[in-house]
Structure 1
Amino acid sequence: MKPGNHTFSVSEFLLLGLSEHQGKQPLLFSIFLSMYLVTVVGNVVIVMVIASDPHLHTSMYFFLANFSLTDLCLSSTTVPKMLVNIQAQRHTITYTGCLSQIYFFLWFIGLDVFLLAVMAYDQLLAICHPLHYTLVMSPRCSILLVIMSLILAHSYSLTHTILLAQLSFCTDNIIHHFFCELLPMLKLSCSNTYANQCVLIYWGGTLTILIPLLIIISYVRIVAAIVRIPSAIGKWKAFSTCGSHLSAVCLFYVSAIGVYFISSTTDSASKDRIAAVMYAVVTPMLNPFIYSLRNKDIKSALGRFLSRRALQPP
């Protein structure tokens, strides 16, 4: 993918990373390698447990498996490149590589958001309309919801990437970040970014206002339905079912809002990078623990999965 007809355009960018101090690079490499390995193992285990246990072959855990795969891909879009740059002590990325990283990063971020909304809708049906749940949330409907989420997320990332490819980057090629992120790239451009800003506002409003609003409305109805449950055991079971998803929603949006609202009001590049670490690295690492520690079905299935592995002959 090449930029438009511009007289000058950079062919590569320099990623400054999380810290410019050479003495901190080995520590950063160790920390992020450990976090990435935990992310990979945690999300892969969640997917394998759900796939191998017939008790978890429901729409709720089908969405969770897709969510874990998305988190794994999201982390893999940024962290391996950062680790390679630290190890090789060469912090450059090509123009094409930068656009590709932005495309896949936005795709998986968008997919995370849409899957969180789908999971909230699934919880709403399961708790508020239990008699119609199996009829409405059929396997075919579950697959269609995931496909629709993929298409919407693809539209989100492709629109931003195409518009970004039309911009020119004349002389300044230094990105004060550890990966190619959309907002720092727009600040580097020496051409008019009005169209990019309009699309950013439109999609930003959809992903950070409309989707969270729909999730909040779903949980208001869920809480109202749980309160009407007569037995304390039934209330606790309902709360435990949706508690892990609500925790994941809060963790994702608190960190994302920190990037696109709080950090955008300041000129501190370090705050942008710290906030990005939260939603691009830390959140995908913590989600498997949130779902495994707060969900009885996952914990039971994980125990059965580990027992089967232990009993298998070497």
Structure 2
Amino acid sequence: MGQENYTFSSDFILLGLFSSSQASLVFFSCLFVIFITSITENALMILLIRGDSRLQTPMYFLLSHLSFMDILHISNIVPKMITDFLSGSRTISFVGCGFQIFLSLTLLGGECLLLAAMSYDRYAAICHPLRYPVLLKDAVSRLMAAGAWLVGTLNSIVHTAYALHFPFCHSRAIDHFFCEVPAMLKLSCVDTSHYERGVYVSGIIFLLLPFSMISVSYVQILHTVFQMKSSEAQKKSLSTCSFHMVVVIMYYGPFIFTYMRPKSYHTPGQDKFLAVFYTILTPMLNPIIYSFRNKDVIAAARNMFQSIFLNKK
């Protein structure tokens, strides 16, 4: 009867990341802490950028959009996981599933393009400091941010419409913790190879090309850094680049591995493990790596907290 319910109901069943074991309570606690930390960090980053004149630069403008994307992305997935864990109900409506796919693909695609734009900003600032005000005008940074949102949204509309139009004539139990396209394709009873080729093309545009651009940008940055005479400047730049590349690899690596493999090579456990990196961990790590290690951000945060406490007195 359970299998028949999955087949004829319009709802999907999210099997989730947790099982009903004691270990799942530990995972749930960690997930809750990560969610609260991520929302707090990214919201604080947006407030600091908007409130401090020293952070009114193209780099921080792009970072504010990255923080907003991360807030939306983790909020699109984790609250549903928490609700399902607490209530014991794992159902999600067809519309709810479609919305999760749409928002997730919009933000994932937009963030891929935005990270590439941010790498270009760093390349222009370090490799061409005198031309930086010309290369990265306010209008250019706004155009890059708007382009990331727009192109990500258009791509998401196409893939969401295609993914949901396939007939699901077997179990509607999605072996994942959110509605993700590769996991849903495994439920379809028709040949999806033609659509998978479309996913592969999108992967080239949104994953391989931006990742290649980021890699080239940082190679150029490192080349410029090694020509600096100051060893202190070299150490600082190398440290920054290293942390940035670790986060980029953590984001793009699992993302590429998930979306650019044939359906037959996917396993539920592997897909769920990889998805944790680009849906849950990177939204928490991005503010730390890109922002809170920066002296201007630290100074802005100190000024904000001092003004708050002084006003209270």
CA distance in structure 1 between the partners assigned to 2:292 and 2:83 by the alignment: 33
Alignment partner, residue 184 of structure 1: 183
Change (3 A) 1:99 1:278: same
Q: Which moved more, 1:241-250 or 1:81-90?
A: 241-250
1:25: Cα distance to partner? 4.6
1:298: Cα distance to partner? 1.8
SS at match of 2:145: helix
Q: Which amino acid aligns with 1:295?
A: N
CA distance in structure 1 between the partners assigned to 2:46 and 2:264 by the alignment: 38
1:162: Cα distance to partner? 1.3
Alignment partner, residue 100 of structure 1: 99
User: Is the Cα–Cα contact under 8 Å of residues 200 and 260 in structure 2 kept in the other structure?
Assistant: no
User: Is the Cα–Cα contact under 8 Å of residues 167 and 192 in structure 1 kept in the other structure?
Assistant: no
Q: Which amino acid aligns with 2:311?
A: Q
Q: Which amino acid aligns with 1:84?
A: T
Q: Which moved more, 1:255-264 or 1:86-95?
A: 255-264
Alignment partner, residue 172 of structure 1: 171
Change (3 A) 1:179 1:147: same
Report the RMSD for the aligned CA atoms in angstroms.
2.3
SS at match of 2:186: helix
Question: TM-score normalised to the size of structure 1?
Answer: 0.90
CA distance in structure 2 between the partners assigned to 1:100 and 1:116 by the alignment: 24
Alignment partner, residue 139 of structure 1: 138
Alignment partner, residue 278 of structure 2: 279
Alignment partner, residue 111 of structure 1: 110
CA distance in structure 2 between the partners assigned to 1:218 and 1:188 by the alignment: 40
CA distance in structure 1 between the partners assigned to 2:198 and 2:261 by the alignment: 20
User: Is the Cα–Cα contact under 8 Å of residues 102 and 157 in structure 2 kept in the other structure?
Assistant: yes
Alignment partner, residue 4 of structure 2: none
Alignment partner, residue 59 of structure 1: 58
User: Is the Cα–Cα contact under 8 Å of residues 17 and 179 in structure 1 kept in the other structure?
Assistant: yes
User: Is the Cα–Cα contact under 8 Å of residues 49 and 302 in structure 1 kept in the other structure?
Assistant: yes
* CA deviation map 1:52-80 (0-9, x unaligned): 11111100111111111111111011101
Q: Which amino acid aligns with 2:275?
A: A
In structure 1, list runs of 5 or more residues that go unmatched.
1-7
CA distance in structure 2 between the partners assigned to 1:265 and 1:195 by the alignment: 14
User: Is the Cα–Cα contact under 8 Å of residues 15 and 174 in structure 1 kept in the other structure?
Assistant: yes
1:167: Cα distance to partner? 0.7
CA distance in structure 1 between the partners assigned to 2:103 and 2:60 by the alignment: 24
Q: Which amino acid aligns with 2:47?
A: M
1:244: Cα distance to partner? 4.8
CA distance in structure 2 between the partners assigned to 1:41 and 1:217 by the alignment: 32
CA distance in structure 2 between the partners assigned to 1:180 and 1:18 by the alignment: 12
Alignment partner, residue 219 of structure 2: 220
CA distance in structure 2 between the partners assigned to 1:49 and 1:306 by the alignment: 10
Q: Which amino acid aligns with 2:106?
A: W
Alignment partner, residue 90 of structure 1: 89
CA distance in structure 1 between the partners assigned to 2:62 and 2:229 by the alignment: 29
Alignment partner, residue 127 of structure 2: 128
1:121: Cα distance to partner? 0.7
CA distance in structure 1 between the partners assigned to 2:107 and 2:176 by the alignment: 19
Q: Which amino acid aligns with 1:204?
A: G
The number of aligned residues is: 307
Change (3 A) 1:19 1:262: farther
CA distance in structure 2 between the partners assigned to 1:55 and 1:267 by the alignment: 47
Alignment partner, residue 4 of structure 1: none
Alignment partner, residue 3 of structure 2: none
Matches within 5 A, 1:147-166: 147-166=146-165
Q: Which moved more, 1:290-299 or 1:158-167?
A: 290-299
1:22: Cα distance to partner? 5.0
Alignment partner, residue 312 of structure 1: 311
